[in-house]
Structure 1
Amino acid sequence: MSQRKNKKVYYHLPGLFEFYELYCAFLPLYKEHREYFYDWCEISSIYGSPADCLWGGGRAGFGSDNPEEVLKLTQEYGISARLTFSNSLLRKEHLTDKKCNILCKMFEEVGEKRNGVIVHSDLLLKYLETNYPKLYFVSSTTKVLTDFNEFLQEVKKEDFRYVVPDFRLNKAFDKLNMLSEQEKNKVEFLCNECCWFGCKDRKQCYEIVSRKNLGEMIPDHKCNSPDAKEGYRFSKAMKNPGFISANDIKKIYLPMGFENFKIEGRGLGSALVLEFLLYYMVKPEYQICVREEVYLDNMLDLF
């Protein structure tokens, strides 16, 4: 493994719109009490989408529908805002959607910190590159890139600043370590996936979300995981073979040259997302301080 000293870990966090209130309470602590946080990591971006976005995918958006407030918050703290527009089933007629175009125009023009879009559809990618060239683009994990060669081809595409592989490639260290430095800088690992490692329906699950965002009245995806009834549990995710712990990031991935890590959780409650933030970013002795500050915010409804 190549040693890279004095490098930072950059986290990409869930819930730009969905957990706006949580970040209103958390980001001031991140700025004013850096002693609470590991000095080897920073928040690079927060991703998400408001409700009823035709281009949305991955998870159905919810939460704050005021993009002006969202952008003001991220710009204040020097954090990139990403729109999750990873619908995989878009057609040409969908590209004129008014709400999504207004959001892209707004995100492209705001502030010094460049904003981005997480995309799946090649059709949408080409449209955005033509019409909103100031945005950067992230290849979505909803593509379910489990074949390493397919993932590598995605990394080589100049269209993308980052590529999120399927979580089942997280521990393919022999192959990952063969990437060039430039290629490693583009890889963004999904850390805390709880999905069954043997799942063969992941792409279908994402497609159902895409169909729902297009307005189709279809049943929810029925998960065939052996313990699907339990829902998401962080303790279960930690036992997943693809799980990347905070210690793994510092001791394995960072020395290998990987700096970008995505935390999932847009479809979960804000209380659980807070636990992710504490685990990955906050020193153990200060986690109670952050919990107290956040939970004592009477305006924040954690669940």
Structure 2
Amino acid sequence: MKHSTTKTAYYHLPGLFEFYDLYSVFLPLFYSHREYFYDWCDIASVYGAPADCIWGGGRVESGNREPRKVLALLREYGISARLTFSNSQLEPVHLADKKCNALCALFSENDRVQNGVIIHSDLLLDYLKSHYPNLYFVSSTTKVLTDFADFLNEVKNDDFLYVVPDFRLNKAFDRLNTLPDLQKNKVEFLCNECCFFGCMDRKRCYEAVSLNNLGKDCPDHRCNAPDAKTGYRFSKAMTNPGFIGIDDIQNIYLPMGFSNFKIEGRGLGSALILEFLLYYMTKPEYQIHVREAVYLDNMLDLF
């Protein structure tokens, strides 16, 4: 894994399977034209899962790229691949799922860089620890750890290499700064969440998604937050009190000793993912070059 020994921001990007085509263009560009991109950032991982994985917990309806092809792309650049298996409603019977087990077995084979699993269920965690010890584990933001004491206990848990707190702890600087360096290295901040900062139903929303992935009948969760009908807007996310922008990363988080930053967006279109890559990683004067390289690639279908 890539850990920060200098003041470098390590991004964890969305869409391992979902946006393979985009990354097949972007990653070669990122590593062959580093002058286009901020020298203070790098890519630590790309996360995702095929749409029909019952262990999955994300709001994703696409992404069925061949797993070996996906892994080959990331292996070429020494980037960790993460499976998003954050379903919170798993039962013992689900642990035998052939597709999810096959993916974990495949991801365990990588001998160049360690791959991981983003996880919610303690049941699944215990199972994966015993069956796939080569994988590392990330505590999912779907746990909605808004209480700092709960978050701190999660950080102290040696089972997790990284912990993603709820975005409403992003600016708890007085408490975050008390963490020792080893614990700061484990914290992975969710930067661009668009969810209403005062939402009280976030955990129930994730639970509904998990139940749906298991094929169980449950009422659709209806978000009652202000402007919920507009869906995700990056411009709206930027006004969120928990938003972490590039100035925050450079001037607050990196000097404070935090280096890991997660970009959400698996359920969004590839055109919006490109906007995240431009904003968080690309120097303004070179954004047009990156856009052109992506837009002019006839293999991509941006939407």
TM-score over 0.5 for the pair: yes
Kept in 1: contact 2:55–2:86 (CA 8 A)? yes
Counterpart of 1:148?
A: 148
Residues 166-220 of structure 1: per-residue CA shift (max 9 Å, x gap): 0000000000000000000000000000000000000011011101110124443
Find out whether 1:232 has 2:232 as its counterpart: yes
Residues 275-298 of structure 1: per-residue CA shift (max 9 Å, x gap): 001100000000110000001111
Structure-to-structure mapping, 1:244-283, within 5 angstroms:
244-283=244-283
Counterpart of 1:297?
A: 297
Kept in 2: contact 1:5–1:255 (CA 8 A)? no
Could you state the TM-score of these two structures normalised by the residue count of structure 1?
0.97
Distance (whole Å) between structure 2 residues aligned to residue 197 and residue 121 of structure 1: 25
Structure-to-structure mapping, 1:69-108, within 5 angstroms:
69-108=69-108
Counterpart of 1:11?
A: 11
Amino acid of the residue matched to residue 250 of structure 1? Q
Counterpart of 2:44?
A: 44
| 1:61 positional shift | 5.0
Secondary structure at the aligned position of 1:117 is classed as: strand
RMSD: 1.1
Counterpart of 2:223?
A: 223
Counterpart of 2:165?
A: 165
Q: Cα 1:109–1:61, aligned 2, differ >3 Å: closer, same or farther?
A: farther
Counterpart of 2:214?
A: 214
Could you state the TM-score of these two structures normalised by the residue count of structure 2?
0.97
Counterpart of 2:191?
A: 191
Gaps of 5+ in 2: none
State how many pairs are aligned: 300
Distance (whole Å) between structure 2 residues aligned to residue 211 and residue 52 of structure 1: 13
Secondary structure at the aligned position of 1:221 is classed as: coil
Residues 56-99 of structure 1: per-residue CA shift (max 9 Å, x gap): 00323521331011000000111000000000000001000000
Distance (whole Å) between structure 1 residues aligned to residue 6 and residue 145 of structure 2: 31
Kept in 2: contact 1:49–1:62 (CA 8 A)? no
Counterpart of 1:30?
A: 30
Kept in 2: contact 1:60–1:213 (CA 8 A)? no
Kept in 1: contact 2:194–2:232 (CA 8 A)? yes
Kept in 2: contact 1:24–1:73 (CA 8 A)? yes
Deviates more, 1:217-226 or 1:146-155: 217-226
Distance (whole Å) between structure 2 residues aligned to residue 64 and residue 278 of structure 1: 25
Q: Cα 1:61–1:173, aligned 2, differ >3 Å: closer, same or farther?
A: same
Distance (whole Å) between structure 1 residues aligned to residue 149 and residue 198 of structure 2: 20
Secondary structure at the aligned position of 2:111 is classed as: coil
| 1:111 positional shift | 3.2
Distance (whole Å) between structure 2 residues aligned to residue 209 and residue 249 of structure 1: 31
Distance (whole Å) between structure 2 residues aligned to residue 47 and residue 220 of structure 1: 26
Kept in 2: contact 1:88–1:120 (CA 8 A)? yes
Distance (whole Å) between structure 2 residues aligned to residue 110 and residue 7 of structure 1: 28
Kept in 1: contact 2:20–2:65 (CA 8 A)? no
